[in-house]
A = this chain, B = another copy of it.
Amino acid sequence: MLINRSSPLPLYYQLKEVLKAKIESGELRPHERIPSETELVQLFHVSRMTVRQALVELENEGFIRRRQGQGTFVAEPKLRQGLLRLTSFTEDMRARGMRPGARVLEVRLLQAPELLPRLKAEPEEEFVKIQRVRLADGEPMALETSFLRRRFCPGIEELDLTDRSLYETLRERFGLELGWAEQAIEAKLADEYEAEVLRVQVGTPMLLMERTTYLADGSTPIEHVRSSYRGDRYQLYVELRR
């Protein structure tokens, strides 16, 4: 495991990847002390500031903990899992070890005045509404209703989104990189329509998540999604940091 100085990748990044690999492979175990900054300087022949940049980022990502006067230690594996990132249903289910899927209920073009301010859209702008039942291992898990700004993904209404990740499609077909999202989470009861398509009783508890997603530029909203998850099958796990 060495660092390649002719690589276009920054040195601190290479060092970070080397250490990350050692942690993930188990070569460095939780609570174990990793070499000190000075030792890493000698091992990899880079300056201490470069070592520190790698360590700072690894700490932010939850892989290590640094303690002044003591050293740097491998963190609990827990810390590297959750933290509630912006993920698609597909990614989420795969991470849970389930097989994701979808059944398309509705795809159509429309105007949606109530979404204009939230999506910073032009007055007459056209949206694509995509409503799908999301499946996990073949069983209904959530009802997902997306509104996409059509000008950013023209023709998406022609694609078959059965069993396909919407976010993957946006990236691969339209070159759209997502950046972040604001999301509201609340509890409510299943209404008649949800009960029917999800095959649950009316009044079943549901986790409702409403999300506005922005592109990587940080300021262009691209979609608004309303997802109702079955409260009897779905649970959110989060790691919280102080």
Q: Interface residues, chain A, CB within 8 Å of chain B?
A: 31, 49, 60, 65, 75-76, 78-79, 82, 84-87, 177-189, 203, 205-207, 211, 216, 218-219, 229, 231, 234-242
Contact = CB atoms under 8 A, between A and B. Distances in A.
A178 B240 CA distance: 11
Contact of A184 (B180, B219, B236): B236
A171 B177 CA distance: 42
Contact of A186 (B78, B182, B188, B231): B231
A240 B85 contact: yes
Given A181-B240, A187-B205, 4 more contacts: A184-B237, A185-B237, A186-B235, A188-B205
A179 B242 contact: yes
B187 A188 contact: yes
Nearest to A78: B182
A218 B76 contact: yes
Contacts of A205: 187-189, 205-206
Contacts of A78: 182
Given A85-B240, A206-B205, A187 B184 contact: no
Given A178-B242, A203-B203, A216-B242, A237 B188 contact: no
Closest 5 CB pairs of A and B: A187-B231, A86-B240, A187-B187, A187-B205, A185-B236
Nearest to A187: B231
Given A203-B203, A205-B206, A185 B242 contact: no
